[in-house]
Structure 1
Amino acid sequence: MLKVTLSVLLLAIITSVFGYQQLQATLHSPLKVANNTQFEVKKGTGFNQLCKQWQANNWVENCWRYQLLAKLDPTLTDLKTGLYALNSDSVISNIKKINNGQQVSFSFTIIEGQALREVLAAIKNANNLKNDLKEQQLSQQILGSDMHLEGWLFPETYHYHNNDTISSVLKRAAQKMQQTLDTAWQQRAQNLPYKTAYEALIMASIIEKETGLASERPLIASAFVNRLNTNMRLQTDPTVIYGIGESFDGDIKRKDLRNYTPYNTYRINGLPPTPIAMPSKAAILAAVNPPTTEYVYFVSKGDGSHQFSTTLKQHNAAVKTYILNKKN
């Protein structure tokens, strides 16, 4: 009887040791894939189906061990749909990545100063985004209003997952711009020539396009504010270019300055009807809190910076120095 008991006990120990070893082998068995192998878990995929797909790809040798483990830990069967980057870590760690919804992340960047048509062209070519845009109802779809979408997409990098929609990314960009503009407008300076936050957004877009030098944005803003406050026309080339549209060939001609468009600030008083680009936060802050100066003129030095002047005489001298002399 004692020998039988010892035999049974020994068998139990051996079985336990073998079971423990099998458990450890299952927990640490690697998934046989190259790192960053993309795999899509489609809607309705179950645990057994997932394992069989991996077995068919020769990523796992068999499924019974993982099916048994899933009986012990039912949370492993909670699979979240999406696109995942698998690696050669353990099978279980890859399954837990799917349990936790750690999908592959993609990104799209709206660049400061981009026009709406440039943003739309770029995002339609972005990887793994569904194009659900309603071209004839774009403003309603993104803003929930008929306001022109130009200027309303905040320049930033936006992360998204496989099969997210273009509209969902643009809505986030619009919400970020609205929040940024609202905050800046609440902190605006006194005696600005804008009646609404939207007019400040228009000005910010012009500032954004007028200079590529971030440190000059406040001075550009000051000069434009001074012009509007003294009933001068803005006379800024970027608005003219925007009014010309896609037919612009890269060179502003005298006829372009004479031709009337709603955006030709050499011909119209005040601001154009809409923004002309996507302004940065810095440009918005410059528009609503410009420094106090007497500048009303500025001319490009040709190196990205500008020479600012308070009188027409000073401006003409600067034009002669930086523009006319270089042409001679």
Structure 2
Amino acid sequence: MRIKLLITVTLLILALTSAAVWQFKQLPLQRISIEQPRLFLVQSGIGLKKLCQQWQTIALVDSCLGLEILAKLDPSLTDLKAGMYQLRPGTVLENVRRINQGDAHLFSFTIIEGQTLYQIIDKIAAAPYLSVPNFIFELDELEAALNFTGDHLEGWLYPETYYYRANETAISLLKRASSKMKTYLQQAWERRAENLPYANAYEALIMASIIEKETGIASERPLIASVFINRLNKKMRLQTDPTVIYGLGEAFDGDIKRSHLKQLTPFNTYMINGLPPTPIASPSAAAIDAALNPLQSDYYYFVAKGDGSHQFSKTLSEHNAAVRKYQLKK
């Protein structure tokens, strides 16, 4: 009888021990109750227990006991880094370790080639979790905050996708963009072709912005550049619509008219000689390369075909025929 009782007690202890061991092994496998990634703000100074209680309140976890046990076994888990994190489907432990390691969520902001300065600033002002100063639309104050010493910030923001963490300042992001443009332009200027009609790298940046706005098909950039270079060398006016549109500013309603071509602004290249005073957009690296290493051609004119490409012409009579074919037939 005693032997039976001893065996029974022993089996019971083994069962309980096995159950406890199984439960312990399951602690790291406890899953967080989300099906899609979601953002979660970890506040400065928060402890692991408080964090878990917050998750419990919003039904991300059922219990904090397992996490508390794991923290006692690995005290480093309690060292949490403040920030905005993306909680992901998986285990509670995986998400805690991400916070423990400071792997905060990266937001993205893209400057698109051909965007104007104010289009970029409008996007900056609406970017999520980016700290935007009140003076963002005040150009003088913005340039001062960026330590910008050029004539005008237009054109100096390099088109690319930039990543930032929650509460990074817009000024910090824009500094990265302007620094990258400055670096790229200087490098491109050093490998430029000979005998270009630019007094300095800034004039090349202005030209690149015009090329960018005129280009519908990327492969045409060097050929479009050759047209403008040929016209400058011949002392011909550039006569390019995007500069007119830029000069009109908010008055432009999307439909360029003949009257606009006769409206004098510093950017109307139908009425001024040479280049406009500033870039008219942020040019891509490819547009800068085209401005500084254009194709050699005998073209002085081009007209849009309506499919994104252009018809290039050597003479005015050829150009007028192309205009009749592709523009006046509409």
TM-score, length-scaled by structure 2:
0.88
- How far the C-alpha of 1:273 sits from its partner, in A, is 0.8
Distance 1:230 1:87 in 2: 62
Partner of 2:282: 278
Distance 1:309 1:23 in 2: 79
Partner of 1:228: 232
Partner of 2:101: 100
Equivalent residue letter for 2:299:
Y
Partner of 1:42: 43
Residues 28 and 271 of structure 1, relative CA distance in 2, 3 Å threshold: same
Equivalent residue letter for 1:208:
E
Partner of 1:165: 169
Q: Deviations over 1:125-169 (max 9, x none)?
A: 222222225233112223532531111112222222322232222
Distance 2:26 2:305 in 1: 70
- How far the C-alpha of 1:283 sits from its partner, in A, is 0.7
What SS class does the counterpart of residue 171 from structure 2 fall into?
Answer: helix
Residues 21 and 222 of structure 1, relative CA distance in 2, 3 Å threshold: same
Residues 238 and 58 of structure 1, relative CA distance in 2, 3 Å threshold: closer
Q: Does the alignment pair 1:292 with 2:293?
A: no
* Larger mean Cα displacement after TM superposition, 158-167 or 178-187: 158-167
State how 1:182-261 maps to structure 2 within 5 Å: 182-261=186-265
- How far the C-alpha of 1:298 sits from its partner, in A, is 1.5
Q: 2:273 aligns with which of 259, 263, 269?
A: 269
What SS class does the counterpart of residue 312 from structure 2 fall into?
Answer: strand
The 8 Å contact of residues 299 and 319 in structure 1, kept in 2 or not, is answered as yes
Distance 2:197 2:98 in 1: 54
Distance 2:243 2:38 in 1: 47
What SS class does the counterpart of residue 308 from structure 1 fall into?
Answer: strand
Residues 267 and 31 of structure 1, relative CA distance in 2, 3 Å threshold: same
Q: RMSD across aligned C-alpha pairs, in angstroms?
A: 2.7
Equivalent residue letter for 1:142:
L
What SS class does the counterpart of residue 290 from structure 2 fall into?
Answer: helix
Residues 145 and 43 of structure 1, relative CA distance in 2, 3 Å threshold: farther
Equivalent residue letter for 1:212:
G
The 8 Å contact of residues 138 and 149 in structure 1, kept in 2 or not, is answered as no
Q: Deviations over 1:100-132 (max 9, x none)?
A: 223333222222211111111122222222222
Q: 2:310 aligns with which of 283, 293, 306?
A: 306
Q: Deviations over 1:68-124 (max 9, x none)?
A: 322321221121112222234222111111112233332222222111111111222
Partner of 1:6: none
* Larger mean Cα displacement after TM superposition, 158-167 or 222-231: 158-167
Distance 1:62 1:304 in 2: 60
What SS class does the counterpart of residue 146 from structure 2 fall into?
Answer: helix
Equivalent residue letter for 1:312:
L
Q: How many residues align?
A: 322
Partner of 1:82: 83
- How far the C-alpha of 1:50 sits from its partner, in A, is 1.1
Distance 2:150 2:201 in 1: 17
Distance 2:162 2:148 in 1: 20
Residues 257 and 61 of structure 1, relative CA distance in 2, 3 Å threshold: closer
Equivalent residue letter for 2:82:
T
Q: Deviations over 1:243-302 (max 9, x none)?
A: 010111222233322222111111111111110011111111100000111211112223
TM-score, length-scaled by structure 1:
0.88
% identity of equivalent residues: 55
Q: Deviations over 1:173-213 (max 9, x none)?
A: 22222222122111100001111111111000000111211
Equivalent residue letter for 2:247:
G
Distance 1:322 1:29 in 2: 66
Moved >4 Å (runs of 4+): 9-19
Equivalent residue letter for 1:170:
L
State how 1:50-199 maps to structure 2 within 5 Å: 50-132=51-133, 134=135, 135-136=137-138, 137-199=141-203
The 8 Å contact of residues 265 and 271 in structure 1, kept in 2 or not, is answered as yes
Unaligned 5+ runs, structure 2: 1-9
- How far the C-alpha of 1:61 sits from its partner, in A, is 3.8
* Larger mean Cα displacement after TM superposition, 84-93 or 94-103: 84-93
Equivalent residue letter for 2:219:
S
Residues 317 and 66 of structure 1, relative CA distance in 2, 3 Å threshold: closer
